[in-house]
Amino acid sequence: MSLIDIVVPCYNEEAGLRHFVEVTNSVIEGIPEHKFRYILVNDGSKDKTYLIMKELANQFDNIKYISFSRNFGKEAAMYAGFQHTSGDYVIVMDADLQHPPQMFPEMIKEVTENGYDCCALRRTAREGESKFRESFSKLFFRIQNALSETKMPYGAVDYRIMTRQMVDSILELSEAQRFSKGLFSWVGFNTKWLPFKTIDRELGQTTWSFWKLFKYALDGITSFSVAPLRFISGMGIVIFLIALIYIIITIIQTLIFGIDVPGYATILMVTLFMGGIMEFSIGIVGEYLGRIFIETKDRPIYIIHHTNFDEDEKETKRK
Footprint of ligand UDP (CB under 6 A): 9-11, 13, 43, 71, 73-74, 77, 94-96, 98, 201, 206-208
Do the Cβ atoms of 124 and 155 come closer than 8 Å? yes
Q: Which of 98, 102, 145, 281 binds Mg ion (CB under 5 A)?
A: 98
**Closer by beta carbon to ligand UDP, 149 or else 200:** 200
Give the span between the Cα atoms of 12 and 201, in whole angstroms: 13
Cα separation, 3 vs 35, whole angstroms: 5
8-state DSSP, 158:
E
Contact between 137 and Mg ion (CB under 5 A)? Answer: no
Choice between 13 and 117, CB closer to ligand UDP: 13
Nearer to ligand UDP, 16 or 228 (CB): 16
110 near Mg ion (CB under 5 A)? no
What residue 207 binds from Mg ion, ligand UDP, none (CB within 5 to 8 A, per partner kind)?
A: ligand UDP
Cβ distance 202 to 22 under 8 Å? Answer: no
Would you count residue 96 as binding Mg ion (CB under 5 A)? Answer: yes
Whole-angstrom Cα distance, residue 209 to residue 205? 11
Provide, rounded to whole angstroms, the least separation between the CB of residue 182 and ligand UDP: 16
CB atoms within 10 A of CB 283: 11
Q: What minimum distance in Å lies between the beta carbon of 206 and Mg ion?
A: 5
- Does residue 117 interact with Mg ion by CB under 5 A? no
Which of 49, 27, 45 is CA-nearest to residue 36? Answer: 27
CB of 227 to Mg ion, least distance (A): 30
- Contact between 138 and 288 under an 8 Å Cβ cutoff? The reply is no
> Per CB under 5 A, does 43 bind Mg ion?
no
d(CA 226, CA 288): 9
Q: Considering the complex, what minimum distance in angstroms separates the CB of residue 195 from ligand UDP? A: 17
Q: Is 13 an interacting residue with respect to Mg ion (CB under 5 A)?
A: no
Residue 44 CB, nearest approach to Mg ion (Å): 17
Closer to ligand UDP by CB, 132 or 257: give it.
Answer: 132
Q: What residues from 66 to 95 belong to the interface with Mg ion (CB under 5 A)? A: 94
Smallest gap from residue 235 Cβ to ligand UDP (A): 34
Task: Please say which residue, 70 or 230, places its beta carbon nearer to ligand UDP.
Answer: 70
Nearest to 9 by CA among 34, 41, 31: 41
Quote the radius of gyration of the chain (alpha carbons, Å).
25
Outline where the chain has alpha helix (H).
Answer: 17-29, 49-59, 74-83, 104-112, 131-147, 164-172, 180-186, 210-224, 227-257, 264-297, 311-316
Residue 308 interacting entry, from Mg ion, ligand UDP, none, C-beta within 5 to 8 Å by type: none
Residues near Mg ion (CB under 5 A) are: 94, 96, 98
